[in-house]
């Protein structure tokens, strides 16, 4: 998982998926709640498939072949939950909670891919890569990482849990207070900054885990 630092978000200068500098004509979806920008349609497709749709849109978190579109009151609750989460990300300007959210969403996308035949996504030129291959899952890899003992803010788990619950009811049960604290500790201990080319003149705070 990788996320742009908060001070690069919304600038349209770096791809929100591959993190590379966008040299010309960024793709900036007008409906994107995080003001994401992409260097290519492929990066946009991958980002949507891996985590963006579940976390930051009102579209169905699962393909129509598996689950119908969420409408009515749940849609309004989902809208509210996402706005609270985005406000929290913008206020704290930290990457750990977003990395945890995208990690969980990536797990959902990988499990979803196992239930879908190839070609189920119409209009997509190249199939999004939803699984990482190999014998071990992302969760297996994360389990092996060392972590810091941290205590998240009391309301932090609830904010993300609301996003998960309104997207896929029942998913929030996966995120207990203790598990979220462990995830945050692992992301905080193992995150590192990456950059391309000459990097940034002021600071390097693009996080990847």
Angle at 69 between CA 129 and CA 116, to 5 degrees: 35
Identify the three-state secondary structure at position 14. strand
Q: In what order do the strands lie in the sheet with 207-208?
A: 2-3, 207-208, 192-193
Six-digit token string for 116: 């879908």
| CB-side neighbour CA atoms (13 Å) of 192 | 3
Mark residue 170 as left, alpha or beta (left: phi above 0; alpha: psi -120 to 50; beta: remaining): left
Residue 149 has φ and ψ, to the nearest 5°, of -80, 105
pLDDT of residue 130: 43
Q: What are 193's strand-pairing partners?
A: 207
Q: Residue 45: how many CB atoms within 10 A of its CB?
A: 21
What residues make up the domain containing 58?
2-208
Both tokens of 65, joined, read: 């072949």
Rounded CA separation 100/107 (Å): 11
Q: How many domains does the chain have?
A: 1
pLDDT reported for residue 134: 57
Residue 131, pLDDT score: 45
Dihedral angle, C-alpha 60, 104, 191, 18, nearest 10 °: -30
pLDDT of residue 171: 92
pLDDT at 125: 40
Q: Which residues of the chain fall short of a pLDDT of 50? A: 121-131, 204-208
Task: Report whether 131 contacts 113 (CB < 8 A).
Answer: yes
Report pLDDT for 34: 87
pLDDT of residue 80: 96
């Amino acid at each position: 998982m990788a996320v742009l630092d908060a001070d690069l978000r919304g600038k349209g200068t770096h791809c929100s998926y591959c993190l590379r500098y966008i040299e010309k004509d960024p793709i900036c979806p007008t409906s994107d709640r995080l003001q994401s920008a992409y260097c290519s349609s492929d990066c946009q497709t991958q980002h949507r498939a891996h985590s963006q749709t579940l976390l930051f849109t009102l579209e169905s978190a699962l393909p129509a072949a598996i689950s119908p579109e969420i409408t009515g009151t749940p849609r309004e609750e989902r809208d509210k939950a996402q706005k609270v989460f985005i406000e929290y990300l913008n206020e704290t300007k930290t990457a750990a909670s977003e990395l945890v959210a995208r990690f969980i969403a990536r797990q959902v996308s990988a499990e979803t891919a196992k239930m879908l035949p190839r070609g189920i996504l119409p209009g997509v030129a190249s199939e999004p890569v939803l699984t990482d291959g190999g014998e071990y899952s992302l969760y297996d890899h994360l389990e092996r990482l060392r972590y810091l003992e941290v205590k998240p803010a009391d309301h932090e788990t609830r904010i993300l849990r609301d996003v998960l619950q309104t997207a896929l009811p029942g998913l929030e049960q996966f995120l207990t207070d203790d598990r979220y604290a462990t995830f945050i500790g692992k992301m905080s201990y193992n995150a590192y900054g990456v950059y391309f080319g000459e990097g940034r003149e002021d600071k390097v705070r693009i996080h990847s885990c």
